[in-house]
Structure 1
Amino acid sequence: MPSNVLVAYGTTNGSTAEIAEAVAAVLRKQGLAAEALPARSVTSVSPYDAVVVGGGLYAGRWHKDARRFVRRHGRSLAGRPVWFFSSGPLDASASERDIPPVPGVRRAMDKLDVAEHVTFGGRLVEGAKGRIARMILRSGKGGDFRDFDVIEVWAARVAKELIDGQKNR
């Protein structure tokens, strides 16, 4: 069984970090060793048997730290099971339907043969960093649209795929 899973994330205001922590917690509950780390702080993926990469969505692009992580560690990621998630829609759309990855994430998925991508709702609350975030909040479009039940079900499925994949070797 894979013993060590990295959940790397790019976030600006902490919402994606909280999703990554929830994913890592479920993986640990399923018997895997897992840690969530900011993507920018990861210097090597060699200690990990599998990797989950998450990034907040900003103006149709994945968070720069998630994009840079995938570019920097692309060769190493290509030899491991990898899953991607995005967070960001500031409405209920992520709970109502499957939202495909943005084009840059789709290209990375194809290049790395990523097992799966999922988009979760985002969160934007008072005190958020950034001029655009403040404009969105002033327009009344902020809120918390994350569904942690859905996040935990997805993480449990990732854990099952990792465990079953090892059993079938």
Structure 2
Amino acid sequence: MEQTVLVAYGSANGSTQKIAETIAEVLRTTGITAEALSARSVTDLDRYEAVVVGGALYAGRWHKDARRFVRRHRGALAHRPVWFFSSGPLDSTASQRDILPVPGVKRAMAKLDARAHVTFGGCLTEGAQGRIARMILRNGKGGDFRDFAAIENWAAGVARELGAMSHR
């Protein structure tokens, strides 16, 4: 049975979008149909058997598009396997240890019985939009802390879980 997976993301400057696209790409290499779409652009989940939702972290909260996506599609998400990811720390902590989901994501995970959550390092580079982003960069705190090997490994784990589900 061919599965179609949505990887929905909330991203301000494209870093989380690139993570979502990488996850979708890994899923496709395993034979799963997957597409990465901006959470804001998704109108319904009818075509998808499973969903991965990701959001950039800002001041301890998920990007508003990811939060709104989960609220808007709560009913449909409750009947599908769901995984969450966050992107954000502008240092190497996400590569050194598991980072627990922020409170809003933790509540959504409990309501939806989400299968897993992971936090990946973030990326903030010159040209980023937003007053706070520019301030962070001015203070020399930017950089690219995304670990694409870890992202690919996590996505491969999602693919294995989906494969196990389809053989039940």
Quickly name the TM-score band, shorter chain normalised: over 0.9
**What's the TM-score once normalised by structure 1's chain length?**
0.98
Aligned to 1:8: 8
Letter in 1 for 2:77: L
Return the alpha-carbon distance in structure 2 between the equivalents of residues 144 and 32 of structure 1: 29
Structure 1: stretches of 5+ with no match in the other structure: none
Shift of 1:46: 1.1
Identity, % of aligned positions: 71
> Mapping of 1:95-110 within 5 angstroms?
95-110=95-110
Shift of 1:105: 0.2
Runs of 4+ in 1 over 3 A off after TM superposition: none
Aligned to 2:66: 66
Return the alpha-carbon distance in structure 2 between the equivalents of residues 3 and 103 of structure 1: 31
Letter in 1 for 2:110: D
Return the alpha-carbon distance in structure 1 between the equivalents of residues 74 and 5 of structure 2: 16
Return the alpha-carbon distance in structure 2 between the equivalents of residues 166 and 78 of structure 1: 18
Aligned to 1:30: 30
Return the alpha-carbon distance in structure 1 between the equivalents of residues 141 and 153 of structure 2: 27
- Does residue 1:56 correspond to 2:56, yes or no? yes
Shift of 1:113: 0.3
Shift of 1:2: 4.8
Contact 1:94 1:121 in 2 (8 A): yes
Structure 2: stretches of 5+ with no match in the other structure: none
Equivalent residue of 1:146, what SS? coil
Return the alpha-carbon distance in structure 2 between the equivalents of residues 161 and 32 of structure 1: 12
Aligned to 2:135: 135
RMSD of aligned alpha carbons: 0.6
Return the alpha-carbon distance in structure 2 between the equivalents of residues 70 and 36 of structure 1: 15
Matched residues, number: 168
Shift of 1:64: 0.1
> 1:74-94, CA deviations, whole angstroms, 9 ceiling, x for partnerless residues?
000000000000000000000
Equivalent residue of 1:54, what SS? strand
Equivalent residue of 1:53, what SS? strand
Contact 1:9 1:65 in 2 (8 A): yes
Return the alpha-carbon distance in structure 2 between the equivalents of residues 120 and 97 of structure 1: 10
Equivalent residue of 1:80, what SS? coil
Return the alpha-carbon distance in structure 2 between the equivalents of residues 51 and 97 of structure 1: 25
